[in-house]
A and B are shown apart, each in its own frame.
Chain A
Amino acid sequence: MSYLPNRVVERLREVVDLPDLTGTRYRLEREIGRGGMGVVYEVFDAQLERRVALKVLAAPHADSAAAERLLAEARVAAQLEHPGVIPLYDAGTLPDGRVYYTMKLVAGSHLSDYVRAAAPLSGRLRVFQKLCDAVAFAHSRGVVHRDLKPANVMVGPFGEVLVVDWGIGVAGTPRYRAPEQASGGDRPVGPAADVFSLGAILRTLLPADAPRPLRAVADRAMAEDPAERYPDAGSLDREIGRFLDGRAVEAYRESTLERGVRFYRKNQPLLVLLLVYVVIRFVLFFWPRP
């Protein structure tokens, strides 16, 4: 009895895992992402002649419960029509019995890659605000993401932000998961859990020498007690807006010196102009008159 070489077995496994697109309008191009249960492929939509992303359950997880969860995810995302939520195009069942859905193919990078590309702090914070905006919209529709993390946030080439993976991540990801989610007990998991995850994401966006007020904002969003966090993603968005506008943030009590420095930075051109004006007036006062 002879055995197949490992690489052949590996290849067979890959082929079995590939979605069967026979008879559909889609043509497989390449795999672009893989999560705990699902795989995302780039496919070509022959009917509309465009490339889209197709998410399908990975073969080992393709049972009915998982299929129902993927469909539920598709339904949730389809409800959320917002520039920050990835738009869904189609959902159904493939000839191999696996449930799938297609969505916009984002030509961008994951938030973590965007940060690694050394984007300036103000740019990162504006991206974070767009993320908060999308999450706030979802909360207003009664939807909680439960698995917000940099890998589920795409940043497009023009700074557009798209949140993906709505609904499957019930357990969350340890580093970004709220305590009430991690305990898995009787504590309710609501929008505050997403606020916690947003705080954890904000922390990853901040450089080591980030200003204290920003670190305080992340700390408040990640408070152990949900009642001590920002009440919603919109409040967190506004808090970041205050920082970007050079105003004081609610999460940080600044000293008089810090307040003075902030005032100077915000109004530096005006203060310089005032100084120039006073100097000019002073010089002109002593200027010889005809």
Chain B
Amino acid sequence: MNKVLIGVLAGLVLGALDGATAWFTPSARSAMASILVGSSIKGLLVGLVAGFYARKVNSTGKGVTLAAVIGLILAFVVAVMDAQAGEQHYLQIMLPGFITGAMIGFFTQRYGALAKQS
């Protein structure tokens, strides 16, 4: 399995799990479906970038940092959209998004095969 695919799968699964934790916030339960979809797409995007980066750069530290930063940026975008809808959950969305991104970065660096040289 190549690193991009690892990134996409890890992003989808971890993103969905991260989104699922919103269930513990009673006010968010009514929007669980959209949170799950949005969080999965966020994870997928982080995994895609981290996967392509891992194909070029073999460094766990750099890969984890990059994915964490992208996770944080995307989580900030989601938090802004949430705030515009009237709810402010910056901390609740951005902190876990940052850590989830780091985990996706770790998976792409540690697992999966590099692209074949042509």
Which chain A residues have a beta carbon within 8 Å of chain B's beta carbons?
267, 269-270, 273-274, 276-277, 280-281, 284-285, 287, 289-290
In the complex, A277 Cα to B95 Cα: how many Å?
Answer: 8
Instruction: Tell me what chain A mostly uses at the interface: helix, strand, loop, or mixed.
Output: helix
With A281-B21, A285-B24 given, is the CB distance from A273 to B102 under 8 Å? Answer: yes
Q: Which one, B24, B99, B107, contacts A277 given CB within 8 A?
A: B99
Asked if B91 and A287 sit within 8 Å, CB to CB, the answer is: yes
B91:A273 contact, CB within 8 angstroms: no
**Is B112 in contact with chain A by the CB < 8 A criterion?**
no
Contacts of B102 in A (CB 8 A): 273
In the bound complex, do residue A277 and residue B91 qualify as a contact, i.e. CB atoms below 8 Å apart? no
B contact face: mostly helix, strand, loop, or mixed: helix
- Please give, as numbers and ranges, the residues of chain A lying within 8 Å of B60 by CB-CB distance: 269
The 5 closest A-B pairs by CB, nearest first: A277-B99, A273-B103, A280-B95, A270-B106, A284-B92
Contact B91 A284 (CB under 8 A): yes
Instruction: Say whether B100 faces chain A, with CB atoms less than 8 Å apart.
Output: yes
Q: Which B residues are in CB contact (< 8 Å) with A289? A: 27
CB distance from B51 to the nearest CB of A (A): 16
Q: How far is the CA of A85 from the CA of B106 in the complex (A)?
A: 37
Q: A267-B110, A277-B100, A280-B95 are in contact. List 4 more A-B contacts (CB 8 A).
A: A269-B64, A277-B96, A284-B91, A284-B95
The residues of B that contact A267 with a CB separation of less than 8 Å are 110
Distance, CA A94 to CA B99, complexed state (A): 71
Q: Could you list 11 examples of A-B contacts with CB < 8 Å?
A: A269-B60, A269-B64, A270-B110, A273-B106, A277-B99, A277-B103, A280-B96, A280-B99, A281-B24, A284-B91, A285-B24
- B76-118 interface code vs A (CB 8 A; 1 in, 0 out): 0000000000001001100110011011001100100000000
Task: For the complex formed, measure the closest distance between the CB of B91 and the CB atoms of chain A, giving whole angstroms.
Answer: 7
Name the B residues within 8 Å of A280 (CB-CB): 95-96, 99
The count of chain B contact residues (Cβ–Cβ below 8 Å) is 17
- CB contact between B103 and one of A270, A284, A285, A287 (< 8 Å): that residue: A270
Complex Cα spacing A270 to B88, Å? 29
Cβ-defined contact, B99 with A273, below 8 A: yes
> Measured between C-beta atoms, what is the minimum distance from A278 to chain B in Å?
10
Closest CB of chain A to B113's CB: distance in Å?
Answer: 13
Q: Which of B91, B95, B99, B102 has the most CB of A within 10 A?
A: B99
CB distance from B108 to the nearest CB of A (A): 12
With a cutoff of 8 Å between Cβ atoms, the chain B residues found around residue A270 in the complex are 103, 106-107, 110
Distance (whole angstroms) from the CB of A187 to the closest CB of chain B: 42
**Bound Cα distance A289, B96 (Å):** 17
Tell me whether B96 and A281 are in contact (CB under 8 A).
yes
A277 to B71, CA, bound (A): 13
Residue of B nearest to A282 (CB): B24
A281-B21, A287-B91, A290-B88 are known contacts. Are A274 and B96 too (CB-CB below 8 A)? no
Query: How many Å lie between the Cα of A273 and that of B68 in the bound state?
Result: 11
CB distance from B20 to the nearest CB of A (A): 11
A287's partner among B88, B92, B106 (CB-CB below 8 A) is B92
